[in-house]
Amino acid sequence: MDLMTIAPKSIPGSAASIKADPIVLDPLAEDCLHDDAAIITTRRAITRVALVAVETGSRFQREGIEYDPMSWMLAPRRLFNGRAAIDACLEREHCLRSILVHGLSLGLDLAPTAVDTLLSEDDEDKRRRSRQHMSSKRKAGKRDHLSGSLPLAAPRLFTATIIYSNRKLMLQAFHASIAHEPSEISARLCERFGHSAADVADIREGFHQSTPVAMALVQEPVAELIRRVAPEADHPLHHDFAVTIEQRIDV
């Protein structure tokens, strides 16, 4: 691979693609204190770029895209308002956009508004579920007060997604299993991934394939299986049903 020619001047994807010469520096050359631009950032931000790089490479390999993934990282994109992924994805907003684009195979470049619409729908779903959860808790509290006991909920399908990193690990994980309450899912995640990773898990009732981690990790045959199990979660046959998919980088 010629590191000085890996990024083309135009970006495939649409007639309105950004056209510009990308800044490509040979990563194998010695650092130049006088010419190399210094960037002050955080470990979390660097982790975002690493995550996007992994997702880009995985997608290109999975779909057999004849385009160098490093070129995608280094060339300017409409998706990032003309910036390159290696710079823009230090920021959470652009990192999420990248994961969504690669998870849904939305092309190599598109207007950021198209991706933001999908992200806003996911945020609204979270707010709606939060309101439903609080309403359910209030109703359950009234029933408990009257009955003096707490009935056990019926078995349901829960899914959880994790995006976690520390000084030694970068982790993305998806989990689906049958449980009576979210606390059971949390306990399973603690047992497998540890308390720190489990604490940041997004646990939901049902299967939400549009979440970025689910889109990145769950292939369609597995997704179809989960969708079939969900409405029959209380069947004894599915009592031990569980799916865990993880992608980790040990630093």
Q: By mean pLDDT, which of 73-82, 146-155, 163-172 is the weakest?
A: 146-155
Examine the domain organization and report whether 4 and 84 are in the same domain.
Answer: yes
Range of 50's domain? 1-110
Q: 248 forms bridges with which residues in the sheet? A: 171
Per-residue pLDDT for 160 more than 90?
yes
Percentage of the chain modeled with pLDDT above 70:
76
Per-residue pLDDT tens over the stretch 229-242: 999 998 888 888 99
* 0.85 exceeded by pTM: no
Question: What percent of the chain stands above pLDDT 90?
Answer: 35
Let me know whether 166 and 225 are in one domain: yes
- Is 6 in the same domain as 95? yes
What is the rounded average pLDDT of the residues 218-222? 87
* Whether 97 and 181 share a structural domain: no
Q: For residues 157-170, give the mean pLDDT.
A: 90
Over residues 124-153, the mean pLDDT reads: 52
Are residues 189 and 88 located together in one domain of the fold? no
Domain count of the fold of the chain: 2
Q: Is residue 138 part of a domain?
A: no
Give the residue ranges of DSSP H helices in the chain: 43-63, 69-74, 85-88, 92-104, 112-147, 182-193, 195-199, 212-217, 220-229
- Distance of alpha carbon 132 from alpha carbon 112, whole angstroms: 30
pLDDT digits (tens, 9 = 90+) for 47-94: 999 989 998 998 898 888 888 899 999 999 999 999 999 999 999 999
Residue 140 included in any domain: no
Contact at 8 Å (CB) between 233 and 156? yes
Average pLDDT on 81-110 reads 88
- Residue 75: inside a domain: yes
Q: Is residue 124 part of a domain?
A: no
- Confirm whether 26 is domain-assigned: yes
Q: Are 17 and 11 in contact (CB under 8 A)?
A: yes
* 131 within domain boundaries: no
The per-residue pLDDT for 102 is 86
* Amino acid 206: pLDDT: 93
